[in-house]
């Protein structure tokens, strides 16, 4: 029986789990909201709330305790200066978990974890736009502009054309496609 065994193990060793949770809390402090799996969000919540409680205390001992757990000076500074000050009147419940649904690749349940007293909701940065697989057609000029021959500029002298000995390039032959299970027509 698992009575009074509250540690969420997340399939990791103790050291790996401590490092993971510390990094998740530091990311939550820096970005105000993080997307992670529901299990990790539920494991991060108690640690994040404990760190805010230390920040509200504000003593040197509390700061050193938070630094021992989180291991990032910038995160501890932001925690004590910003986040703990915003949550000064609140008696717990500093974080909120919002379920997002299943992840596409492995159907793991995903969730946001964010601060309840966040000043502004940090918007997700849009990912880099992927290049189009096909080249986009260039916009066509109106017919009136196409019919006008372009005149060379008077300022730049026209370059002398040199005759090249190379014959004109032949058009490439269409690729033969293999259709497995069918006989190909060779013409």
What confidence tens digit (pLDDT) does each residue in 42-82 have?
999 999 999 999 999 999 999 999 999 999 999 999 999 99
Q: What pLDDT was estimated at residue 48?
A: 97
pLDDT at 119 (0 to 100): 72
pLDDT of residue 174: 72
Q: How far is CA 29 from CA 1, 16, 117, in A?
A: 36, 20, 12
Q: For residue 170, what pLDDT is reported? A: 78
Structural domains for the chain: 14-115 (3.90.1030.10)
Question: Going residue by residue through the chain (187 aa), what tens digit of pLDDT does each one get?
Answer: 999 998 999 999 999 999 999 999 999 999 999 999 999 999 999 999 999 999 999 999 999 999 999 999 999 999 999 999 999 999 999 999 999 999 999 999 999 999 999 876 556 566 667 666 676 666 666 666 655 556 655 666 556 666 556 666 777 777 766 666 655 555 5
Provide the pLDDT for residue 155.
62
pLDDT tens per residue across span 87-99: 999 999 999 999 9
Look at residue 181 in the predicted model and tell me its pLDDT.
Answer: 60
Which two three-digit tokens encode residue 97?
């978990």
**Residue 135: its pLDDT value, please?**
65
d(Cα 33, Cα 148) in Å, to the nearest integer? Answer: 58
Structure-token pair, residue 165: 């000995």
DSSP category for residue 10: T
Bridge partner list, 4 = none
């Amino acid at each position: 029986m698992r009575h009074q065994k509250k540690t969420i193990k997340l399939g990791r060793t103790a050291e790996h789990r401590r490092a993971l949770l510390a990094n998740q809390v530091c990311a939550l402090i820096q970005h105000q909201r993080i997307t992670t799996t529901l299990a990790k969000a539920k494991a991060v919540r108690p640690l994040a709330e404990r760190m805010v409680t230390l920040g509200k205390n504000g003593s040197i001992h509390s700061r050193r305790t938070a630094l021992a757990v989180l291991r990032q000076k910038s995160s501890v500074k932001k925690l004590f200066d910003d986040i703990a000050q915003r949550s000064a009147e609140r008696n717990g419940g500093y974080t909120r978990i919002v379920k997002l649904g299943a992840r596409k690749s492995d159907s793991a349940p995903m969730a946001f974890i964010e601060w309840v007293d966040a000043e502004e909701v940090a918007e997700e940065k849009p990912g880099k736009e992927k290049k189009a697989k096909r080249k986009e057609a260039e916009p066509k000029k109106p017919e009136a502009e196409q019919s006008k021959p372009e005149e060379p500029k008077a300022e730049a002298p026209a370059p002398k054309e040199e005759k090249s000995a190379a014959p004109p390039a032949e058009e490439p032959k269409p690729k033969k496609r293999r259709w497995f299970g069918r006989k190909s027509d060779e013409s």
